[in-house]
Amino acid sequence: MRLWFTGALLLLLPATAAAAEISVQEALLRAKPAVALVVAEVGSEVIVTCPGRGEKLVRPAPFRETGTGWFVSPSGWMLTNAHVVSPAHRPPTWVADQQARRAVREACGELPPETLAATATRARVKLDPSLAVILSNGVRLAPAVTKYSLPVAAESMSGRDLALLKLDAADMPTLRLADSSNTQIGDKLHILGFPGVVLSHELLNASAKVEASVTTGAISGFKEDVTNQPVIQTDAPAAWGNSGGPAVSSRGEVLGVVTFVSVAGGDEGGIVQGFNFVIPSAAVREFLKGTDVPLDEPSRFNAAWYAGLGAYFSGDYTRASEHFAEADRLIPKLPDVRRVTAEAKNPPPKPFPWATVAVVVTVASLGAYAGMWGLSWRRNRYRIRPSEVMRLLETSRERPIILDVRDGATYAKSPVRIPDSRHITPQELETGVTRLEIEPTRVVVAYCT
């Protein structure tokens, strides 16, 4: 009994593990709402004195840096790259110089390079930095930078290129940190973010631009940066704007944070795809130590969203719609929630259940064959072969009693007569006209057509 019970448990274990797995599509839909666009903008007022003219106040187009952030806690804690928020958090000197040059060109027109540089140097620049987080539903929030780990140098990002932001928000969608120490070369990896090529695409509308894009690849190496900090190399495509975005596993858990890409040398300096780098999640956990971030804080949005997706992918569209409505109440008008809600209300037609039909037909066929076999067995259960009759006649101490129960007409016309047999018609057997006195131990063999 114990062996049987253990065997049953072993049979159930694979089914339980398989039931816990989710598809890549469901995992990525779980993750996308937690990703947001981060915009660092530096406006300015510049007083310029053009050659031969007086002073002029100019407000040139602001400097803008975009990147990606993601919520690590539902109470408004967000992670991104330090170099994404750097222009607004700690504006470098080159930003002021760039704004001065823009103002000089706007106020003075085209000047010789030497004159342009000298005029920009004399300009008085007042910077107005700002930082914004834009959710995929278009809501714009103003974060505060609470922890900042500056890259070692602008030309060589470090493995701690991280910034922690705090927003005035609650019940936000969040991403869970995975254990990057368990990863191996070849493991699938998905980067979520806002690549500039999509953000600035002239054929996309404004709402499409603030919805995270997903690129897919694999882990291609484990490296160290110039400060000997560990980084993960991946061939998943990334571009400017992906910085700070989460690199998630096929279960939607964060394996790391995109930190820098590879740039070709020479005048072009384009991004070389297939050689991008990610800060491992172990380094993110280390960065968050000593902060007020509650990593295990439950998210009501996640609870509703995950339950809805689970019901949706299992085909229970009514229950899915109920959970999606709760998710939309908590954070309205997220594109993914609206899209999947619409699909749940108008589900695709169910495919013809060929597998079920095949099972039913097979069971019905087996039942029919079993019924025919049963009828045949019932009809023939007392039949005996002629060879067996001869064996009984030759070997038995008491010879079997042989009854010829052919009807009278057939018996009269047939030349076949069984030796030592007694003829009784079927009518006589049915009516009981003829009384047979036979010992209970004697074998009786009836012959009929």
CATH number of the domain residue 134 falls in: 2.40.10.120
Claim to verify: residue 158 and residue 263 sit in the same structural domain: yes
Give domain status of residue 179, yes or no: yes
| Entry pTM | 0.72
Give domain status of residue 11, yes or no: no
Give domain status of residue 405, yes or no: yes
CA distance 238 to 240: 7
State the distance between the two ends of the chain, measured CA to CA, in whole angstroms.
53
Claim to verify: residue 44 and residue 180 sit in the same structural domain: yes
209, with CB counted inside 10 A (0-12, 13-18, 19+), is middle
Claim to verify: residue 332 and residue 399 sit in the same structural domain: no
Residue 11 confidence (pLDDT) = 40
Claim to verify: residue 280 and residue 140 sit in the same structural domain: yes
Neighbour tally for 8: CB within 10 Å = 9
DSSP state of 398: S
Claim to verify: residue 66 and residue 146 sit in the same structural domain: yes
Provide the number of structural domains found in the chain.
Answer: 3
Residue 3 confidence (pLDDT) = 41
What residues form DSSP beta bridges with 308?
none
Claim to verify: residue 33 and residue 174 sit in the same structural domain: yes
Claim to verify: residue 284 and residue 330 sit in the same structural domain: no
Claim to verify: residue 310 and residue 227 sit in the same structural domain: no
Rounded average pLDDT per 10-residue block, the chain, 449 residues: 41 43 93 96 93 88 94 96 92 92 90 89 93 95 93 56 95 94 92 80 65 92 84 89 93 91 52 79 94 93 97 94 96 95 84 80 88 82 76 72 78 76 77 70 75
- Domain of 326, in residue numbers: 300-345
CA distance 392 to 211: 91
Claim to verify: residue 249 and residue 158 sit in the same structural domain: yes
SS3 letters across 202-252: CCCCHHHHCCCEEEEEEEEEEEECCCCCEEEEECCCCCCCCCCCEEECCCC
Give domain status of residue 206, yes or no: yes
Claim to verify: residue 166 and residue 69 sit in the same structural domain: yes
Claim to verify: residue 198 and residue 308 sit in the same structural domain: no
Claim to verify: residue 107 and residue 243 sit in the same structural domain: yes
Helix (H) or strand (E) run with residue 400 in it: none
CB burial of 164-179 (b: ≥16 within 10 Å; e: otherwise) equals: bbbbebebbbbbbbbe
Residue 2 confidence (pLDDT) = 43
Residue 16 confidence (pLDDT) = 40
